[in-house]
Amino acid sequence: SAALIIGIGVSRILTAETIASEGVIASQRGDTALSYKKTAQAIELLPFVHQYRINMSQLSVAAAQNFYAAISANQNNETLSQADLETITKLSDQATREAKLAIDLSPDDAVTWANIARLYSSLIGAAQNADQYAVAAFRKAISLDPINPVLHLDLATLVASMNQLDEAIGETKTAITLKPDYANAYYNLANFYRLKADYTNAKAAIEQTKKFTAINEESQNLVRQLEDAINALKPNELP
């Protein structure tokens, strides 16, 4: 009997993992609907796996965004109907609920906190206090994984959008300390200094950006555009 129970448990785990993997592959192909279905099946089999909950929260956000984009494109800037708003709200609520369940299942995992931080970031402007919740969640994630440069840069980007440029610069510098060849961090740092009209530091950061930027046309165009914006500061005219 014990062997049978163990066998059933192992079979359930393997099945859930296979289905979840199929969901990830579908998501990578851009098939959100199939990925959503597969992830829901995996959760039904193993409801206590926090990664499945993270996947579902991300899919729910993507579904809400895709639905909003599709409806907006077909309505020629008309106001969304009540039914459309309810669908978007339902998907957003599901995303939040799944993200919170992931934290309940694994409260000491930085990934679960980073996931809900990014979720709240995507809801800024649509959900009350989403920006403050996002900041708090990123800080919790960083407390659990302080040497992760991506978390520091994500927090920096968020607080910069809230016009907290000094904190953004500090977090970006931490990201660079942890990853000295972090091109995105240098790029963001240059932009944050540009927003502060700090020509000297912006120029220094953009020069570092150029050292580590990938050799492709899109990346180099972005760097050139930012460099032009920095040069337009006209340092002799700055206070």
Task: Express each pLDDT in 89-117 by its tens digit.
Answer: 898 899 999 999 999 999 999 999 999 99
pLDDT value at 10 more than 80: no
pLDDT at 238: 56
Residue 73 and residue 131 in contact, taking contact as beta carbons nearer than 8 Å: no
Residue 182 and residue 212 in contact, taking contact as beta carbons nearer than 8 Å: yes
Per-residue pLDDT of 23-65, as tens digits, reads: 999 999 988 889 999 999 999 999 999 999 999 999 998 888 7
pLDDT at 34: 92
DSSP per position, 74-90: HTTTPPPPHHHHHHHHH
pLDDT at 24: 92
pLDDT value at 5 more than 60: no
pLDDT at 50: 95
Per-residue pLDDT of 190-211, as tens digits, reads: 999 999 999 999 999 999 999 9
In this structure, what token pair is assigned to residue 145?
């994984």
pLDDT at 72: 67
Record the pTM. 0.85
**Gap between the Cα atoms of 95 and 101, Å rounded:** 10
pLDDT value at 215 more than 90: no
Please compute the mean of the pLDDT values over residues 67-88 and round it to a whole number. 71
The alpha carbons of the chain give a radius of gyration, in whole angstroms, of 22
pLDDT at 88: 82
* More confident call, 2 vs 65: 65
Residue 65 and residue 27 in contact, taking contact as beta carbons nearer than 8 Å: no
Residue 26 and residue 35 in contact, taking contact as beta carbons nearer than 8 Å: yes
Per-residue pLDDT of 113-148, as tens digits, reads: 999 999 999 988 878 899 999 999 999 999 999 999
pLDDT at 237: 58
**Gap between the Cα atoms of 198 and 107, Å rounded:** 40
**Gap between the Cα atoms of 172 and 30, Å rounded:** 31
pLDDT at 73: 65
pLDDT value at 9 more than 60: yes
pLDDT at 81: 74
pLDDT at 75: 58
